Amino acid sequence: MMFSATRTNVSAEKILVNTSFDGEKGGFTPKKQQNVVVKRGSLHPACKSQQVFSTDKEVYSAFELPNQIVFFAWNGFSRITDGKEEKIGSLQFTRPVYLHCQKQNALILSQKGEYTAMYTEEGVSTICNVGMESLALCKERVVGVADNKVYFSDVDDFSSWNEITLPEKVCAVTQLQEDVLLFGKDVLRLNFGKDVADTTVETVCRNVGIPFAQTLCAVGNSVVYLTANGLMKFKNSSVTKLAEAFADNAEAQATVFGGKYVVCCNTEEQKGVLLETDCETGQSVVIGKADFVTANGDRLLFGMDGKVCTFGEEKADAFWQSYPQSFGNAAAKKHLRKLTVDAVGSVEVRLIGEIDKKVFRMQCKNPQTVHLQGTFHKLTLEILTFGNAVVHSVGVLAEIFRLGEV
């Protein structure tokens, strides 16, 4: 199902414009419109969060493993299994650096500046006396960085470690396709040899902006990360800026979910927000509030004030979005008058202006009309359907004034 958009010509001093999105015709007409479908399971503001568990402790982070959730608090770390909470060992982790090794079903945890440990169902044990700033699983080795050194385990043996001193400080590591990349002021490539003596490091790109370590993620064929100067993307040995700096985000944390870059950070307007970011355009959408975010498998975990949440099952099955419509002269002021929705089932319609956003959630059997108030210059229309809902048409009635009357 797609929608077509039409509008009248602007010629009178004061006219009424009806922009109708018709679900029967298919195809967008003007060319400035496009169809965007969000598949079930993708994140979107339509997603409703639901609580996974809560505790009276301050939760620094949480991670989901098969049949259990591990979380970290001021008094150590614990796991939730079948709804029961159990403390694990005595090691302390505050906002730990973590890495899930699926083959071993192990969680590698590092307390920055102190130690690195491995957690399995049998318990937790220290595997390295160095606390890493960043961890990655690269070519069946665990690789970590701290200051001007890179540490890496033997293949499939996380108890035996090697180290190389680098010519400069690095703060983050990731694997991008076949390359093991180290990020600091520059991007370095780590080339494993048969042994440590044969392992080399080479410079790939200079002056890329120092990442906030826990925001660096490989997304498709690129690496995305936050710096003090903005949101950056490394691709094809060069760096581009996707967005300007959000705020002070040295403690920000990011993950990849559904092919999108999801970051828990501060913005200029508020602290502790969860942003879903398009890695092509750099555009971000606020999808929640959180102190941390992690992802593993089909669920995203995020938390705040002792509550650990995920997104529930009520997610949009489909999502259509128009480009901003000016309805004639872009500088003219328009007054909203009426919204008409002809649909069957659960539908959400959003009218988004430069400042204001109006959201209407409807359970439709027959055409419904809502009287509106508000002004705009350009308007974006979003339509979301839930379950087996069918949208026949959505009409927006707006009154347009001549420029002299604005």
pTM for the whole thing? 0.68
**Sequence letter at residue 394:** V
Structural domain ending residue among the three candidates 255, 281, 311: 311
Instruction: Categorise residue 148: left if φ over 0, alpha if ψ from -120 to 50, beta otherwise.
Output: alpha
Predicted confidence band of residue 367 (pLDDT cuts 50, 70, 90): confident
Last residue of a domain, one of 279, 296, 311: 311
pLDDT in tens, 340-354: 888 888 888 888 777
What type of residue sits at position 11?
Answer: S
Domain that holds residue 9: 4-38+317-405
Indicate the residue among 294, 311, 328 that finishes a domain. 311
Do 87 and 236 share a domain, yes or no?
yes
What residues contact residue 151 under an 8 Å CB cut-off, 6+ apart? 128, 130, 132, 143, 144, 145, 161, 162, 163
219 lies in some domain: yes
Same domain for 247 and 171, yes or no, is: yes
> Is 43 inside a domain boundary?
no
Q: Are residues 53 and 34 in the same domain?
A: no
Q: How far apart are CA 235 and CA 222, in angstroms?
A: 5
With respect to residue 106, please indicate whether it lies within any of the assigned structural domains: yes
163/34 same-domain check: no
Q: Do 262 and 160 belong together in one domain?
A: yes
Q: Which amino acid is at 45?
A: P
Query: 18-55: per-residue pLDDT in tens?
Result: 445 444 433 222 222 233 333 333 454 445 667 888 88
Give a yes or no: residue 248 inside a domain. yes
- Give the CATH number, domain containing residue 225: 2.130.10.10
Q: Are both 243 and 378 inside the same structural domain?
A: no
Q: What is the pLDDT of residues 47-101, one digit of tens each?
A: 566 788 888 878 888 998 888 899 988 777 889 888 888 888 778 888 789 999 9
CA-based nearest residue to 18, from 402, 401, 395: 395
**Per-residue pLDDT at 402:** 52
Backbone region of residue 207 per phi and psi (left: phi > 0; alpha: psi in -120 to 50; beta: other values) = left
The total number of structural domains that make up the chain = 2
Closest by CA position to 256, among listed 208, 281, 291, 223: 223
* Average predicted confidence (pLDDT) for the chain: 80
pLDDT confidence bin for 216, thresholds 50/70/90: very high
What CATH number is associated with residue 380?
2.60.120.340
Question: Could you tell me if 178 and 115 lie in one domain?
Answer: yes
Same domain, 174 and 71: yes
Note whether 238 and 367 are same-domain residues. no
